[in-house]
Amino acid sequence: MGWHYRKSLRKGPFRLNLSRKGVGHSVGGRGARYTRSADGRRYMTFRIPGTGISWRRPLNRRR
């Protein structure tokens, strides 16, 4: 098992994620969030607050 590092800084609806791979960011509220990971992947996540139910959709990369 390898070592992992992740630090998240929040300011309102914005989140900056620091990891060993680089820097990612996300924006959104409790019900929906847009995320761009450190390796460039983009996701849209929808969740029902308080239930633990969520749906994450990867967004296509630009070519």
What does the pLDDT look like over 13-60, one tens digit per residue?
Answer: 999 999 888 999 999 988 999 999 998 999 999 999 889 899 999 998
- pLDDT at residue 1 tops 90: no
**What pLDDT is attached to residue 11?**
94
Run of H or E including 57: strand 53-59
**What pLDDT is attached to residue 62?**
63
**Domain-wise residue ranges, the chain:** 6-59
Predicted model pTM: 0.74
